[in-house]
Chains A and B, each alone.
Chain A
């Protein structure tokens, strides 16, 4: 189908006739500014084809220009299947439709036009609502109104059916139809009954699994209880076995018999022990009977021996007495000699001590005298210095020119000299040069003619031989200087007068005298301090003290012959005499001690001799008396008898001891202990086992009455049934999951196959703009649902506006090509459809449009003329269409 010419008059924006002519077979660009009526052109074409000419009401009103009441007309010339058609429709006022067809020599008019259009353009009339253009058939799909491109590929039912009719195969067959969808939904519902979306068990399936687990837990619990029951039975059997063994082995009776035997042995042992004890007692008695006579015999022998010993000792004591007396006599002689030597040493010591005391007294008196003389000399010197000091201080007090006064005078004198110098400087100087021999006088005094005369006051100079000359000096400040000089001299003179001195020279002399007196006073004070540091009075007191000390000493003894001997020698001598005396005393004491010892020995030995004599007499008497009572022979015989008795007792006791050893008392006792313990243990064991048996039987009786075996069998069967039930659910759930997955995949693949030709047509276009991409469609609505790029599917609504409009245009171009090939009417009209495309994309899109225009006519309405220059298509400006219109 190809549009050839369009005439529009009184249609919305286009009031004056507009004729668009020269539309190319391939692609044509119709351009115009905004508000110029481009979109009205598309609207007019749609109206001509799809709106009944008898349309009324709002739809009809909207066809005429705003605010005008006119007759909108649209005429379209087009080609279809090689024939040329001319369609003219007028609306509202005298609605009219006319269609010139290649097959009818007479034009069709009225409703026949509408019917023929439906046939030609393969669309169903929109029914009573004649104005709606939603059902525009397949052409509507390819005509894109401004600002709607990016909404995607919306197809109405007619368009979809037309499009689908272009595809090979049967949609119903491929997709399974409504029945397939019902089955799919039923399976899905059944799957969802058993599984969550995540594939987890739910509802009856989950309940079956829970039931299985609970039943299994019950089985385990019962098995444990039954195992406990059986363990308890084993334990009871073990207890009974042990009791049986006790019984079979007669263990208690055996133990009791062993105990009886052990007790008998133990009693025999006790008897033996008693006999041994009694034998031991007899033995002890025999020993004690022998003991007294034996002791008596021993005592008698000891006393005899002692008597002999006493006699010997007595003889020795007599000899000792004799020897001691001899020694005493020698000691007496020694004492006498020592006493003599001590008396002599004493005399020598006394003499040397007297000599020493005298020498020391003399030495102390000489020292005191020397001290007194030294103090006296110091006192006298101090007294002399004190007199000189008083003289100097008196002279100083009489002299009034002190250091301060002389300083004051010297200051006044300096001031005088300075004042006089200033007066002299201001005075008139006159140098006289008298002839030799001539004299000049001033104020009657001759003048030294060699020196200049200085005249400060009116002066009269008499020049001898010439007369007088009165000089009246009159220099500046002379009078003031003179006055200052006079005042200064007066001040000095006044000060001198106050000091009682006539001149400065005298003042200087007086001051020097004052200074010399001051120095003398300081010197005498120094000497006083040297001789009497504590003062002269203290020195005087010290002199009195020294004199008193001297007086206190006794008068010196006359110097002896030994006066020349030093005190040190005297002291050494005294010390020697003392030592000699001490040695003599010690010797005397030793002699006296020796004599005392000798005397003591004599006395002691004599005493001993006396005691021994007495003891000998007593012992001899006692021995005689004992023998008188029992002779030595009788005593020894008695002892022999007693020893025989002792030997017999010992033999008896030894026999009993051997019997005890032979019976092994320890073994007998241990056996008794063991036997008693064995009886106790066995009795205890039997009692414990009996109690345990009773308890075990009671427990088993209680447990057994519950019928655990029956319960367990029942529980096992229930557990098996629950497990089978759960397995059945699991099997069905798995089957439903597999079934659902398989159906889903099959459906997706079917749709994919169904859309294959669509994709095959689109892909060449798509590759021009979007490489490595793929469009996805809803297989039933043919709506664009998204685009896959790099393996990732993006929903259509998620794409950018530019991409969406490009994709939508490309899809239309592809569909239009497909439709055109199938022989159905196809014509692409794009009303500013690519407004969001960047230059590169636009260039790619123009290539795609050019490619499509090889198969289907494309008309582009745009206000962006320059965008389409690259397309190289014929350009029709809406403005020129208007200019060429007959009305223009």
Chain B
């Protein structure tokens, strides 16, 4: 009875990436539509019996009609059944992206599983048990009914749900929409296809999170895949193949730097990242910590600005980078006179944890140093 289907989830169509901003955000938005097309292509290539989308197809129910239309168009790449499940971002409310999608006209092969009713297809060989969210947050485990659901004899029982598997995820992720971690066993499922966790993960026996097909955040949990699931015979473990569908790589680098090597260290790290991944598809979040001098900071900035142009996107977080002027820095500004006196006062204040203006004093030193450099450069 070999049966193959595609498991995907968390497309988050309509996500704006406004924090990225500019052209890059537009590219990221469009790329998510492209990811759907890649999934459709994959399904076609693997002759999938269906594509199961385990929730959060949309980032929000309040997406524009144009966005909905783009999705419908992208679905055209696969003529088999698309089984769409509402998630917590796009719950099946009285009015939702789903109802608008329906009004705009859905192809026959696109099925919205908006009610907890088994969907049977492929001549009774496959029975999908959906647990659609009808509001953003459910207190009860919506997959409970799977245990009692009757399906045609010999049909593969596939659960489709969106939420957090209990006892398996970080506590913060279990805030709502719980799913029992033994649901696959209690409901005699051959496979439980889940959405909500954006990384690809086998969370429990026969229970998988497909993850988002196109990465959308700086989290190293293996996003950017779709799962090709093959059920060879009833009761046998599913054969799950992870196929890369994402284009962009979202990478977070935490680098601690100290003193004069800061610029070089950061430069090396950025170069290493760019060599491991095509730079034009790399979004890098650089979280700097440590302590540098004023002169080091200037050099560091130059390195960062130079590398920024090479990458698709570079985000630098230097909130934890302590810019401490060195004695040499301060000597460069002035060795004596009232300027030096002022510098010493500011340095002292910046170093005083009880001074409410210590951060301001630190910034003042940086600005003074910059002005000193500009004055020296005759600018």
Contacts and interface: CB of A to CB of B under 8 A. Distances in A.
B93 A707 contact: no
Most buried by A among B337, B345, B363: B337
A175 interface: yes
Interface string B5-31: 000000000111111010000000000
Interface in B272-330: none
Contacts of B359: 731
Interface stretch (A486-494, A742-750, A839-847): A742-750
Nearest first, the 8 A-B pairs at minimum CB distance are A717-B18, A707-B64, A176-B337, A709-B60, A709-B62, A237-B94, A735-B363, A236-B94
Interface in B68-105: 93-97, 100, 103
A327 interface: no
B367 A705 contact: no
Interface of B: 14-19, 21, 59-67, 93-97, 100, 103, 333-334, 336-342, 345-346, 357, 359-361, 363-364, 366-368, 371-372, 374-375
A180 B337 CA distance: 8
21 contacts: A179-B375, A186-B374, A190-B371, A234-B94, A236-B94, A700-B95, A706-B64, A707-B67, A709-B61, A710-B62, A714-B16, A715-B18, A716-B18, A731-B359, A735-B361, A735-B364, A735-B367, A736-B364, A738-B357, A739-B342, A739-B364
A708 interface: yes
Interface in A164-195: 172-177, 179-180, 182-184, 186-187, 190
B62 A237 contact: no
B285 to A, nearest CB: 15
Given A713-B18, A746-B342, A232 B360 contact: no
A310 to B, nearest CB: 103
Given A184-B339, A709-B14, A717-B19, A233 B94 contact: yes
A27 B93 CA distance: 107
Contacts of A700: 95
A527 interface: no
Interface of A: 172-177, 179-180, 182-184, 186-187, 190, 226, 229, 232-234, 236-237, 239-240, 696-697, 700-701, 704-710, 712-718, 720-721, 731-732, 734-736, 738-739, 742-743, 745-747, 749-751
A746 B368 CA distance: 14
B372 A738 contact: no
A705 B339 contact: no
B93 A187 contact: no
Contacts of B65: 704-705, 707
Nearest to A743: B342
B100 A705 contact: yes
Given A240-B94, A736-B364, A739-B368, A710 B338 contact: no
Given A709-B62, A743-B338, A746-B345, 14 more contacts: A173-B337, A174-B337, A180-B339, A187-B368, A697-B95, A704-B61, A709-B63, A713-B16, A717-B18, A734-B357, A739-B342, A739-B367, A749-B341, A750-B338
A179 B334 contact: yes
B93 A717 contact: no
B363 A732 contact: yes
Contacts of A239: 94
A613 to B, nearest CB: 110
A749 B337 CA distance: 10
A710 B14 CA distance: 6
Contacts of B346: 738-739, 742
Contacts of A735: 360-361, 363-364, 366-367
Contacts of B94: 233-234, 236-237, 239-240, 696
Contacts, number: 160
A232 B367 contact: no
A410 to B, nearest CB: 146
Contacts of A718: 18
A707 B63 contact: yes
Contacts of A720: 19
A746 B341 contact: yes
Contacts of B336: 173-174, 176
A755 to B, nearest CB: 13
Given A717-B21, A720-B19, A233 B14 contact: no
B348 to A, nearest CB: 11
Nearest to A232: B95
Contacts of A182: 375
Contacts of A710: 14, 16, 59-60, 62-64, 67
Contacts of B371: 183, 186-187, 190
Contacts of A186: 371, 374-375
Contact of B364 (A177, A226, A742, A749): A742
Given A176-B334, A226-B62, A237-B93, A743 B367 contact: no
A234 B64 CA distance: 20
Most buried by A among B16, B60, B359: B16
Most buried by A among B17, B100, B367, B372: B367
A749 B63 contact: no
A420 to B, nearest CB: 154
B368 A747 contact: no
B60 A176 contact: no
B95 A236 contact: yes
A176 B335 CA distance: 9
A515 to B, nearest CB: 147
Most buried by B among A174, A709, A714: A709
B341 A738 contact: no
B291 to A, nearest CB: 19
Contacts of A731: 359-360, 363
B100 A701 contact: yes
Contacts of B15: 713
Contacts of B103: 701
B337 A750 contact: yes
Contact of B367 (A187, A696, A747): A187
B360 A746 contact: no
Nearest to A189: B371
Nearest to A740: B364
A710 B25 CA distance: 12
Given A713-B15, A735-B367, A233 B60 contact: no
Contacts of A234: 94
A355 B368 CA distance: 166
B96 A233 contact: yes
Given A176-B339, A720-B19, A735-B360, A233 B334 contact: no
Given A705-B100, A738-B357, A750 B21 contact: no
Contacts of B93: 233, 237
B368 A183 contact: yes
Given A180-B334, A705-B100, A720-B19, A738 B364 contact: yes
A745 to B, nearest CB: 8
A735 B367 CA distance: 8
B135 to A, nearest CB: 9
A173 B339 CA distance: 10
Contacts of A707: 14, 62-67
A714 B345 CA distance: 43
B64 A746 contact: no
B366 to A, nearest CB: 8
A563 B97 CA distance: 153
Nearest to B20: A717
A708 B58 CA distance: 13
Given A240-B94, A706-B64, A709-B60, A175 B364 contact: no
A94 to B, nearest CB: 54
A749 B18 contact: no
B89 to A, nearest CB: 9
Contacts of A179: 334, 339, 375
Nearest to B93: A233
B63 A175 contact: no
A698 B127 CA distance: 35
A750 B339 CA distance: 10
A768 to B, nearest CB: 33
Contacts of B16: 710, 713-714, 717
